[in-house]
Amino acid sequence: MEANELWLWLVPVALLPVFFAMGWFAARVDMKAVLKQAKSIPGGFYTALDALVDKHSGRAADNLAEVIAARADDAETRRLSLTLGKLYRQRGQNDKAIVLHQKLLSSPDTVGLEQAQTRFELGQDYQAAGLVDRAEQIFLELQHSEMASAAQQMLLNIYQQDRDWEKAIELAQALRHGDQSYQFEIAQFYCERAQTALFQSRPEEAEALAREALAVNRKCTRANLILADAAYKQGRYQDAIDACHAIEKQNHEYLGMAAERLYDAYDALGRAEAGLAVLVGYAKTFPDLDLHNVIYEKSLLINGEAQAAQTVTELVRQKPDLAGVYRLLGVHIGDTDPARRADMDMMRAVVGRQMQKAVMYRCRHCHFKSQAYFWHCPACNKWETFTPNRIEI
Ligand SMILES: [Zn+2]
């Protein structure tokens, strides 16, 4: 081997450590670049996050707005802006959210999915601001975008808010897929229409709509309550009784709501005592039903005070509770020694006050409590979540 050839071999070998060193430096430079990038997240971002954790959403929004103002208009900045818009809306600053989202939409870079998401946010801003027509328009336009499903859900909420049950039925039927059948909701929408028809003295139409409700959800007790009312209004008392009894097979907890109508239908057929016997039978079989008051009142009409008191006393003894004790104090106040009557009145008033606070209907979903029963929870907007009988809270 000549000296020149030897050099050709030796030079690369001698340079090996240099190559290693260059690689090591290159790696160091990359790491530094990454760290530098990480450090480029503005301090305001962390301040905003911290304020959010501390539930100071106003401060968080101000910090986030400062961060956005200092950044270039790129995709990440626009994403941050969407978050800021949500924060504004959550804080009730709907005007600020609207301006922000409109500005984002005016950017020529906001296209495709990003544009659909921003429009969806703007629709929610309008809805929160009470501009429901504009919100509806946006959600309707989004039905053919990537946000279609979410937009349809928002539309369904709007139709329920507006009590536009026909549109709600149509949309909920279109939304049905897989496990999400919307059967409770659709049946209730039909019931809402049926109830309106009943109030407006159109019992035949109410009946037809209640049957539609049952076709969608055969467990819909409200449909049978409406059928009973509609049949009663048309003088078909046996049909009214049958509709009330059908509730027992669907869900006996709702029988308390049918009690008055059931008794009235029996009474109209000249069988008031049989009607009362059915109610007493229900109360004995299902002690949780809220039936004491109606049984006492009807028994008073048929059998007089002593027998009514005896019947209701037996029922309360079977399952003593606050409402029952209140009823019993009322029942027995008449036969109390006049000297102690004032005390009895006082005790009854105290129990009554306590009952007002502690015996209520309650939403099983969000625990909203009320003295009135709601088919549609005003707090969480769920259907059929209220306990059908008042309970001790
Ligand atoms: Zn609720």
How far apart are the CA of 185 and the centre of ligand 1, in A? Answer: 14
d(CA 185, CA 382): 9
For range 359-387, the mean pLDDT? 95
Kindly report which listed range (65-69, 112-116, 211-215, 358-362) carries the lowest average pLDDT score.
Answer: 65-69
How far apart are the CA of 334 and the centre of ligand 1, in A? Answer: 41
Task: For the beta carbon of residue 83, count every other beta carbon within 10 angstroms.
Answer: 15
How far apart are the CA of 386 and the centre of ligand 1, in A? Answer: 7
How far apart are the CA of 379 and the centre of ligand 1, in A? Answer: 5
For range 213-220, the mean pLDDT? 97
Contact 187, 218 (CB under 8 A): no
d(CA 150, CA 118): 13
* pLDDT of res. 17: 65
Q: If pLDDT is split at 50, 70 and 90, which confidence band does 15 have? A: low
* pLDDT of res. 235: 97
Q: How many Å is the maximal CA-CA distance in the chain? A: 137
* pLDDT of res. 327: 87
Please report, for the chain, the start and end positions of each structural domain, with discontinuous segments joined by +: 182-279, 300-393
> 258-299: per-residue pLDDT in tens?
999 999 999 999 999 999 999 999 999 999 999 999 999 999
Q: If pLDDT is split at 50, 70 and 90, which confidence band does 368 have? A: very high
How far apart are the CA of 184 and the centre of ligand 1, in A? Answer: 15
How far apart are the CA of 70 and the centre of ligand 1, in A? Answer: 43
How far apart are the CA of 288 and the centre of ligand 1, in A? Answer: 21
Task: For the beta carbon of residue 156, count every other beta carbon within 10 angstroms.
Answer: 20
d(CA 295, CA 287): 13
How far apart are the CA of 372 and the centre of ligand 1, in A? Answer: 13
Q: If pLDDT is split at 50, 70 and 90, which confidence band does 54 have? A: confident
Contact 279, 299 (CB under 8 A): no
Q: If pLDDT is split at 50, 70 and 90, which confidence band does 393 have? A: confident
Measuring CA to CA, which residue among 377, 379, 375, 367 is closest to residue 391?
367
d(CA 253, CA 200): 28
> 321-344: per-residue pLDDT in tens?
888 889 888 888 877 888 888 888
How far apart are the CA of 367 and the centre of ligand 1, in A? Answer: 6
Q: Listing from the earlier edge strand, what are the strands of the sheet with 369-370? A: 369-370, 359-362, 391-392
- Compare 227 and 58 and report the one with higher pLDDT: 227
Contact 369, 357 (CB under 8 A): no
> 140-185: per-residue pLDDT in tens?
999 989 999 899 999 999 999 999 999 999 999 988 887 788 999 9
How far apart are the CA of 24 and the centre of ligand 1, in A? Answer: 62
Question: 182-279 adopts what CATH topology?
Answer: 1.25.40
How far apart are the CA of 384 and the centre of ligand 1, in A? Answer: 9
How far apart are the CA of 267 and the centre of ligand 1, in A? Answer: 37
Contact 244, 228 (CB under 8 A): yes
Q: What are the tokens at 50?
A: 């911290």
How far apart are the CA of 335 and the centre of ligand 1, in A? Answer: 43
Contact 132, 157 (CB under 8 A): no
How far apart are the CA of 245 and the centre of ligand 1, in A? Answer: 28
* pLDDT of res. 25: 58
Query: CA-based Rg of the chain, rounded to a whole angstrom?
Result: 35
Contact 156, 182 (CB under 8 A): no
Kindly report which listed range (14-23, 120-129, 301-310, 355-364) carries the lowest average pLDDT score.
Answer: 14-23
* pLDDT of res. 12: 61
* pLDDT of res. 253: 96
- Choose from 252-256, 340-344, 389-393 the range with maximum mean pLDDT: 252-256
Contact 225, 258 (CB under 8 A): yes
